[in-house]
Chain A
Amino acid sequence: MIRARKADAVTVEIVGNLLLSIAEETTVSIIKSAYSTNIKERRDVSTAIIDPDGNMVAQAENLAIHLGSLLTFVKGLYKKFPRESIVPGDMFIGNDPYNGGGNHLPDIVLAAPAFAGTKLIGWVVNMAHHSDIGGKVPGSTSGDATSIFQEGIKIPIIRICKDEAIISSVMDMLLANTRVPTEHYGDLIAQISANRVGVRRMTETYEKYGDLLLECMVELQNYAERRLRHAISTLKKGVYTFTDYMDTAGPAHPDPLPITVKITIEDNSMVFDFTGTCPQVEAPINVPYNSLLATVFYSMKALVGADIPSNAGIYRTFKVIAPEGCLVNSTHPAPVGVMIDTCQRLPDVIFGALAPAVSERIIAGCNSACTTAVFTGNDPDNKDHVFIYHEAIAGGSGASRHSDGLSAVQVHMTNTSNMPVEALEFEFPLITIKKYALRKDSGGAGEYRGGLGIQREFEIMNDGVRYTGLGDRQKFQPWGLEGGRDGYGGAYYLHSVDGSVTHLPSKCTGLPVKKGDVIEVLTPGSGGYGDPVKRPPEKVLEDVLEEKVSPEKALELYRVAVRIRENGTYELDAEETKRMRA
């Protein structure tokens, strides 16, 4: 055993590496043995190592939205099960976002204590997104839930294992509340087994380091805190405010929903105050407090230090105030199934406020929505088989003072990939993709242009298909910075086989469509940065050649004239451009 060392600069780095690798190994173990696609392919899984006091020490997260999910589980657990009552062989489960659990009910958390003999040395806690936990619709998350009770079974923090054995009454109860019991069981077993792998590695680590391991756990949090405080101390002190709006929360809430933040930067700490944000809604876009914390931490990582480790130490450096019952700190029983929509917008709000303080790294407003299209229909050859095809379509990412925004990317809290066109058409022959392209002119004009959104056209190949589309940032466009223009908002259109075109609402559920109809999805672009007239004409010409900017907009917004050449391509009209820009 290594006894002589202190928790010094070297040991802390090495133990930090080790704990992270335990968390990663636990995550890999879940991904390998789980059943459902969410876990295996979207890697909607996260593992954290928690110290004996319940503070998070290390986390292996695959999605930024997981950053806050495991923060308070063990602390919540201790309220119900005093520390002394926890013994080797225990394991706990829970999913209530209002009581320690994940972001929404499908995120099920499993927590296992690690012991050295009878001494508690920490916890391994993992979370995975399950494909169905009951609720009003298959998949549990619906676009029109009005209460969390419609979103599936709620599991308070309870024991699932005692003396290493699964408590069968608990498991039975869970399996009775899902539409896919085999898959659900497989995924839970994967989470339980993975935690055991993690616990074993924790015990081995303790055998090697002894109490130095516990000292390092404390020191790792101090380290993250120091890193973040140091980064904050370099920011311009002051009070910064910003408001952005969600378009609607569906038919019951047709009006814009303001999200307001007031950020105070002090010497080496910050306060994020969301007072002024609209009240929670009877729609599933409410944000529980831990998910709000995740968006704040994501924003800090993005702005001041991508490699600051995720642990409880960082939350000592900033305070997050949000009135209970508001959209971003909702209370039971407000539904939270698609909190991701609002969570996507929150970093934009924070960035908007901090633009004057962190001008070097800030980006303009992004597509900041989760633009989805879902198609369901019966297999014409096998009536028993129902197709469900779900696609989240990316958009633009804002420009910065150094560079154009990225086109066609998922931003902020999510970063999942698309389904290849060839894979989806094979799996779901009711759809053919007619077009999957960058959406011309959707990136806000600027010295640095905003990233473009996507234009995607789904052609319906059979009757009897239903379409559901949920999006936002259609009314309130992604904003530009420092003279950069706003990017385009998103839109949904139905091009009927009869030739008519209908502008569909941003939240549309279960619309029947016919063979030959085309659903066109236009995702939001993003804001530009700086005065468009400062963009070098050659860059604008490049954009025109790439069909990112139309010749008309080049002239109107950038004051760059292009003319068509004999071979059909464009060239710069230097004289006219000079005249326009004079």
Chain B
Amino acid sequence: MSYMIGVDVGGTFTDFSVFNTETGKLFHFKRSSTPADPSEAIVKGIEIILKENAIKPEEISYLAHGTTVATNALIEKHGAKVALLTTAGFKDLMEIGWQKRPSLYDLLKPKPQSLIGPGMKFEVNERILYDGTVKTPLNEEEVVDVVLRIKASGAESIAVCTIFSFINPSHEKKIKSIIEREFPEAYVTISSELVPEFREFSRMSTTVLNAYLGPLMKRYVKKFEKTIRDVGITVSPYVTQSNGSIISIKETEDCPIRTAVSGPSAGVVGATYIGKQCGVDKIISLDIGGTSADISLIENGVSTLSSERLVEGYPARIPMLDIVTIGAGGGSLARIDAGGVMKVGPKSAGANPGPACYGVGGIEPTVTDANILLGKLNQKKILGGRMAVYPERAEKAIRDYICSKTGIGLYEAANGIISVINSNMIRAIRVVSVERGYDVRDFSLMAFGGAGPLHACEVANELGIGIIIIPPSPGTLCSLGLLMADTKFDLSRSNIMLAKKENLEAINGIFDSMLAEGTGLLDKERVPPERRSFVRAIDARYEHQNYEITVSLPGSPMTEEVLRDAIEAFHKEHDKNYGYFDRDKNIQIVNYKLSAIGDIDKPDMHEVSVDKSAPVPRPIETRKVLFQGAQEFVDCNIYDKADMKPGCTIAGPAVIEQMDTTIVITPEWTAHLDGYFNLRVEHEGGQR
């Protein structure tokens, strides 16, 4: 036997998805997380899985997990003692940043806390100009002197970033070799190796973040590898990156920053995979948990990437899935503000004190309380009967905090809470879709997380979306996504030159060097040649613009013809994004990008046969439910998902319960179970 395991570490629970590659059976397992040392829950969980299922450790052929080490270190600010080494005149750049204040109106909002301690910023005299020429040469003696001072300061880690190093890295390379000679214990990141890209603040910030995380990640990797070996697992574990792919855990030692925002990415990978099963390739993914909702857009089966994002207030220039997170979840608190209007979230009751209906101390009303009162959630027990709930407490909370302050009735208030939280999610969905030029009605909504399927129909109704997909196990889609990832290295270089045939040789030179680097990385991952692919792209702009558009290129090398096509594609893309193009303007290429992709074995899920005449199962009960926009409660059949056979169709209004979620099918919607146990929920009118 051979097994694949994906582990998703969340704030409250660590989820495991286990796939038996021979029987094609998939099962899930859950354990409380251990935030102090996340690997503890991972290893303990694996041990239990092995024991309970009589699996031998060497039968594990694949193990991937999303690590929260980097994320937590940044939130809790317990990274390494890091020193910055930069060009004379620029040591304050991390604090100056873009010289913007963090909030337009909140004058007391501080700048992000510095990652570099006082007196840990160092300068050396050197200066490279925009064309790579050296204005002030590096003085090696001075560098040695500075490195010794850094050593004496007690630094564990050094971030090196000098002006225009992306165009001429010689000074940074020299500095690195001096550090390796004089202070070999130090962890070093130089910007020209990590992010050889244009624009100094983002490059420096990414370099500092990486150096800040490096020593910690190194220790984690060492420890994790050992504990896994101690259990007897022989396979080398993978870790998720923020771009949704996986890399060997060893690789994260050099670039831990690539894992810093990987948290929600596995869910998006899972959503992409489920989309393929269902034959939909335009997806809005909506992952609603207890405190937040993660939203992303997937087009042609590929989720959109962004190349820069703020991490704890600092720009990180690393490719990552473009995910919008808002404070809207089951635990979001509802209140009436000083002007008499209802607000829901971003504050959440979290797990403690939790929603009022849990009866564990919460007294303020939450979204979950509203869903209980409206009959959408089971009014006796939730989580597959594991947890008792108290509707009378939900009612008291809503009466005390909403009704008494507004004069609106109990159920109107409960429905109002849902309207407001839905409208917050709808606004966020518009951000990833409409504001980026997509018509949201062309997309299917993939709803997951514990609370996604509860809100999906009503959110889709408001947006005019006609198809909703609910995966078989919405609560564990992230750990499933970990079984579905490829390995991928996104490489990038900056060198601003005109998109003209005179520069073809230079352009090819850049791509060739990246190809060599990418090949080396895939070698290290032991990806066989036939399973490798390389995707090239450029970031280009019209001369004098200060923002770029990404244009993908067909294979290599760059020929006159390819360049001509790329230029044409750029005009088109510019027209699509900005509403105009101009063939008379010169085009500059700014960044060169190459993704080196290794295809990794994935579970081969078996489709079971679908019985088109599968009967509607017997409801486990009926309950009165009040839907959005309705005036009165309606009797609603409640089904157990386990009773549904593939092929079976249930027309709304209905509620389908399962252990990890509750699926609400509103009137005018119909749910159909497919051969992979996905629910495809369609509006009467179909795609709208």
Q: A residues touching B (Cβ–Cβ < 8 Å)?
A: 2, 4, 8-10, 12-14, 16-18, 21, 24-25, 28, 32-35, 37, 40-41, 64, 186, 190, 193, 223-224, 226-227, 230-231, 298, 301-302, 306, 361, 363, 393-394, 397, 400, 402-403, 406-411, 415-423, 425-427, 429, 432-438, 454, 457, 541-542, 545-546, 567-570
Contact = CB atoms under 8 A, between A and B. Distances in A.
A167 to B, nearest CB: 22
Interface stretch (B97-105, B261-269, B447-455, B678-686): B97-105
Interface in B337-358: 337-343
A226 B118 contact: no
B489 interface: no
Nearest to A226: B339
A41 B546 contact: yes
A416 B408 CA distance: 44
A3 to B, nearest CB: 11
Given A9-B340, A394-B99, A435-B89, A361 B580 contact: no
Interface string B404-420: 00101000110110011
Contacts of A569: 119, 153
17 contacts: A4-B631, A8-B416, A9-B342, A12-B341, A37-B546, A40-B578, A41-B546, A193-B579, A223-B341, A230-B339, A363-B108, A409-B99, A421-B163, A422-B198, A423-B198, A426-B496, A435-B89
B342 A408 contact: no
Contact of A411 (B101, B336, B435, B629): B101
A567 B435 contact: no
A124 B225 CA distance: 60
Given A25-B434, A402-B108, A438-B96, A422 B101 contact: no
Contacts of B430: 21, 25
Contacts of B419: 10, 14
A205 B50 CA distance: 56
B341 A363 contact: no
A10 B420 contact: yes
Contacts of A64: 104-105
A150 to B, nearest CB: 27
A16 to B, nearest CB: 7
Contact of A33 (B127, B337, B338, B579): B579
Contact of A454 (B96, B152, B437, B544): B96
Most buried by B among A231, A422, A545: A422
Given A17-B424, A41-B547, A417 B130 contact: no
Interface in B107-157: 107-108, 110-111, 118-119, 121, 127, 129-130, 135, 149, 152-153
A417 B96 contact: no
A302 B105 contact: yes
Contact of B130 (A4, A400, A426): A426
Nearest to B91: A437
B201 interface: yes
A21 B437 CA distance: 15
9 smallest beta-carbon distances between A and B, as pairs: A33-B579, A10-B416, A545-B119, A227-B339, A435-B89, A306-B105, A394-B99, A417-B98, A545-B118
Interface string B428-447: 00100011010000000000
B577 interface: yes
Nearest to A194: B579
B236 interface: no
A434 B437 CA distance: 42
B273 interface: no
B104 A415 contact: yes
A179 to B, nearest CB: 16
A301 B106 CA distance: 8
B199 interface: yes
Contacts of B110: 403, 406
Given A41-B546, A402-B108, A432-B135, A415 B100 contact: yes
A522 to B, nearest CB: 14
Given A24-B435, A302-B105, A410-B101, A13 B341 contact: yes
Contacts of A301: 105
B373 to A, nearest CB: 15
Contact of A13 (B343, B578, B629): B343
A416 B437 CA distance: 25
B92 A408 contact: yes
A454 B99 CA distance: 10
A107 B335 CA distance: 39
Given A8-B406, A13-B420, A230 B92 contact: no
B90 A33 contact: no
B423 interface: yes
Given A33-B579, A361-B107, A569-B119, 8 more contacts: A363-B107, A406-B101, A406-B111, A407-B111, A418-B96, A425-B164, A433-B89, A545-B118
B611 interface: no
Given A33-B578, A361-B107, A227 B337 contact: yes
Contact of A410 (B99, B337, B338, B415): B99
Nearest to B98: A417
B451 to A, nearest CB: 19
A190 B101 contact: no
Contacts of B338: 226-227, 230-231
Contacts of A425: 129-130, 164
B299 interface: no
Contacts of A403: 108, 110
B93 interface: yes
Contact of A16 (B104, B153, B341): B341
Contacts of B93: 436
Interface string B189-210: 0000000001111000000000
Interface in B227-268: none
Contacts of A37: 545-546
A224 to B, nearest CB: 7
Given A306-B105, A568-B149, A408 B99 contact: yes
Interface in B604-629: 629
Nearest to B464: A204
A9 B95 contact: no
A408 B95 contact: yes
A419 B102 CA distance: 17
Most buried by A among B336, B434, B577: B434
A422 B130 contact: yes
Interface string B570-605: 000000011110000000000000000000000000
A411 B106 CA distance: 11
Nearest to B152: A567
Nearest to B151: A567
A124 B473 CA distance: 45
B100 A410 contact: yes
A398 to B, nearest CB: 8
B427 interface: yes
A196 B145 CA distance: 64
Nearest to B494: A422
A437 B546 contact: no
A223 B339 contact: yes
Given A426-B130, A429-B130, A437-B90, A420 B342 contact: no
B579 A32 contact: yes
A34 to B, nearest CB: 8
Interface string B520-554: 00000000000000000000000011110000000
Nearest to B424: A17
Most buried by A among B100, B103, B163, B416: B100
Contacts of A393: 99
A347 B548 CA distance: 36
A419 B423 contact: no
Most buried by A among B340, B496, B631: B340
Nearest to B343: A13
B198 A2 contact: no
B91 to A, nearest CB: 7
B339 A415 contact: no
Contact of A418 (B98, B342, B427, B577): B98
Contacts of A9: 336, 340-342, 402, 406, 408, 416
